[in-house]
Amino acid sequence: MNAAPLARRPLGCLKATLRQTRHQRLLVRHMATEASQTTSKPPVQHGFYPITDPKKKTIRTAFAVYPQGTVAGVKNASPPPSNVLQALHEAQIKRLDPTGVRTAMFGKNRDAVKPGDVLMITHRRGGEPFAGVVMSIRRRGIDSAVLLRNHLGKIGVEMWFKIYNKNVAGIDIIKRAPKRARRARLTYMRQPKHDMGSVENLVFEWKRTRKVFSTAKSAAGAGGKNAKGAKAAKKK
Amino acid sequence: MIQLKTLLNCIDNSGAAIVECAQIIGQKRHASIGDRIVVVVQKQRSANADGMAGAGAPKVKRGDIRHAIVVRTRQPVQRRDGSVVRFDDNACVLINKAGDPIGSRINGVVGSELRKKKWSRILSMAPMQA
């Protein structure tokens, strides 16, 4: 078809070759797998490729090339361990509580804190330490928290504290419950009939006894270090 | 969770004892600690109410419409570090249109969320914060 007009129109030749290349490109695009098998693969440089904005000199967008085998669904990738979450929680607890004091403090042993005990929690961010009766303990691995209730100027205040929080500088046991509480959550303490009221006098008493039994130096650092505070409280 | 018709304690010495929420300013949801609301004074504080000695003449009367800042809520409020605070009542402090407190002192604990919401005048007046 093209042979006859070729002589008259030399540009037609160019047109034909262009059409041919276009067809070839289409073929490659449609049969990408086929084409890649035939052509030699360029070496994959895996890494992070930022594309910077020439005007602002900031990263406009970026993409990452991962080594082969990391794509989801690849057969040869090893299956994840069965208890991933548990392992993660353990690793996080180990990072945030290297000595294991807080884990022991809120564990399920005899010495552990129980609902009905009175705790004092010191914040690293300054502010008054918050003391209160333990109303419930929420054991959820790294998210473990404790609910304290107190009265601040005739108004009941309840606070949840994460026990593994880095901002929680110290947890001190002010007073143990005289009798084991028969509930896990002492929500009945919100009723006026069962409300313990303020624990301020208990805290005051505790501070006085600490001053008597300890040297001036350690009394000054009371509550500063969690480990020290917890151990001192456990001895009593 | 302060919304229309919620009754709040007024804990300053402006003369109001119980106020009712009439509108929440600046948002479509319920109000929390540090939010500004419009209130109607429902009950006046008697002359010699406890803890308000030397209050003088009440600055607001029953039926007055004023602005107020929520300082305590029964609804738990979560903080950035995961700790949660919950008070046993809903309370507020009356302010004028410019944002200055009407009363000269505050009687009771307030939430420290006020610091984040830039109500440091109220925080400095409060005897304690939780």
Q: What is the pLDDT of residues B12-57, one digit of tens each?
A: 999 999 999 999 999 999 999 999 999 999 999 886 655 555 556 8
Structural domain span for residue A157: 89-235
> For residues B11 and A225, which has the higher predicted lDDT (pLDDT)?
B11
State whether B109 and A190 contact (CB < 8 Å): no
pLDDT at A218 over 70: no
- Give the whole-angstrom CA distance, residue A96 versus residue A90: 10
Specify if A32 maps to a domain: no
User: Looking at residue A222, what is its pLDDT?
Assistant: 44
> For residues A174 and A46, which has the higher predicted lDDT (pLDDT)?
A174
Average pLDDT (A62-79) is 68
* Shortest Cα distance, chain A CAs vs residue B83, angstroms: 5
Average pLDDT (A168-187) is 93
DSSP 8-state class, residue B48: T
Nearest to B84 among A156, A160, A167 (CB): A160
Specify if A42 maps to a domain: no
SS3 B79: coil
User: Looking at residue A189, what is its pLDDT?
Assistant: 95
pLDDT at A169 over 70: yes
- Per-residue b or e along A116-125, where b marks 16 or more CB atoms closer than 10 Å to that residue's CB: bbbbbbbbee
- Give the whole-angstrom CA distance, residue B13 versus residue B54: 9
Nearest CA in chain B to A147: B84
User: Looking at residue A232, what is its pLDDT?
Assistant: 43
pLDDT tier for residue A23 given thresholds of 50, 70 and 90: confident
User: Looking at residue B20, what is its pLDDT?
Assistant: 97
Arithmetic mean of pLDDT over chain A = 80
pLDDT at B102 over 80: yes
User: Looking at residue A66, what is its pLDDT?
Assistant: 78
Specify if A22 maps to a domain: no
Q: What is the pLDDT of residues B1-18, one digit of tens each?
A: 999 999 999 999 999 999
pLDDT tier for residue A7 given thresholds of 50, 70 and 90: low
Q: What is the sign, positive or negative, of the torsion defined by CA atoms of B24, B25, B30, B35? A: negative
Cα distances (Å, whole numbers) of residue A122 to A61, A70, A165: 44, 45, 11
Specify if A25 maps to a domain: no
pLDDT at A137 over 90: yes
Specify if A71 maps to a domain: no
* Predicted ipTM of the assembly: 0.89
Average pLDDT (A169-198) is 94
Domains of chain B: 7-129 (2.40.150.20)
User: Looking at residue A86, what is its pLDDT?
Assistant: 86
Question: CB-based contacts of A201: which residues, under 8 Å, 6+ apart?
Answer: none
pLDDT at A9 over 80: no
Say how many domains are in chain A: 1
* Shortest Cα distance, chain A CAs vs residue B57, angstroms: 25
State whether A155 and B82 contact (CB < 8 Å): no
Q: What is the CATH number of the domain that holds A203?
A: 2.30.30.790
User: Looking at residue A176, what is its pLDDT?
Assistant: 94
> For residues A231 and A213, which has the higher predicted lDDT (pLDDT)?
A213
Specify if A62 maps to a domain: no
| Of the candidate ranges A21-35, A148-162, A173-187, the one whose mean pLDDT is the lowest | A21-35
Percent of chain A whose predicted confidence (pLDDT) is above 90: 43
User: Looking at residue A194, what is its pLDDT?
Assistant: 94
R_g (Cα) of chain A, nearest Å: 35
Q: What is the sign, positive or negative, of the torsion defined by CA atoms of B118, B120, B123, B129? A: positive
User: Looking at residue A11, what is its pLDDT?
Assistant: 63
State whether A157 and B85 contact (CB < 8 Å): yes
Specify if A64 maps to a domain: no
User: Looking at residue A32, what is its pLDDT?
Assistant: 55
* Three state DSSP letters for chain A: CCHHHHHHCHHHHHHHHHHHHHHHHHHHHHCHHHHHHHCCCCCCCCEEEEEECCCCCCEEEEEEECCCCCCCCCCCCCCCCCCHHHHHHHHHHHHHCCCCHHHHHCCCCCCCCCCCCEEEEEECCCCCCEEEEEEEEECCHHHCEEEEEEEECCEEEEEEEECCCCCEEEEEEEECCCCCCCCCCCHHHHCCCCCCCCCHHHHHHHHHHHHHHCCHHHHHCCCCCHHHHHHHHHHC
> Is B58 in contact with B90 (CB distance < 8 Å)?
no
SS3 B124: helix
Which residues of chain B approach chain A closer than 8 Å at the C-beta?
Answer: 72, 76, 81-89, 91, 107-109, 112, 127-130
Average pLDDT (B92-114) is 94
Specify if A183 maps to a domain: yes
Nearest to A139 by CA among A111, A174, A171, A114: A114
Average pLDDT (A219-226) is 44
pLDDT tier for residue B76 given thresholds of 50, 70 and 90: very high
Q: What is the pLDDT of residues A89-135, one digit of tens each?
A: 899 999 999 999 999 999 888 889 999 999 999 998 878 899 999 99
